[in-house]
Amino acid sequence: MKITIVAAGKIKEKYLTAGINEFLKRLGTFANVKIVEINEEKMKDNPSEAEKQQVLAAEGQRLLKQVPEGSYLFVLDVYGKAVSSEALSEKIQKLGLEGKSSITFLIGGAFGLSEEVRQAADFRLSFSPMTFTHQMIRLLLVEQIYRSFKIARGEKYHW
């Protein structure tokens, strides 16, 4: 299975980079995982609502251009559906059984997501109604993808 993580922004904190790299290494036995980063759009201080939407639209278009053609698209969205680790594992495995060999997870930038990105999603996934930095979510995401494969194989990682 090929998994792409498309994200706005770069990881600057070493502890997050170390955690992400550790899970990417572990995932190597289960899937080909690639992270694609785009630069975040700049937003001026105190933007109008129209200016915010314009920035989100520009960033969203650049994010969507990085999604491989034919890939099943999970968009991480605070307004999406929250699922358990087991349900995410089941969803990923079901996609594989249905012949979906390419899955993409998209993480927006600090200002959120455009409506165009939300509409492009095959599944809108919420990790929590709480707010996390998009850098932290990337670490949580790679851990949950790893956990999904371990659950699917019945291996001891999930207690």
pLDDT tens-digit readout, 80-129? 999 999 999 999 999 999 999 999 999 998 888 999 999 999 999 999 98
Q: Is pLDDT of 57 > 70? A: yes
The pLDDT of residue 111 is 85
Residue-wise burial string across 110-124, b where 16 or more C-beta atoms lie within 10 A, e elsewhere: ebbbbeebbebbebb
Could you identify the residue written with the tokens 């699922």? 83
Looking at the predicted structure, is the pLDDT value of residue 157 above 80? Answer: no
CATH code, residues 2-152: 3.40.1280.10
Q: Kindly report the average pLDDT of the chain as a whole number.
A: 94
Looking at the whole model, is its pTM more than 0.75? yes
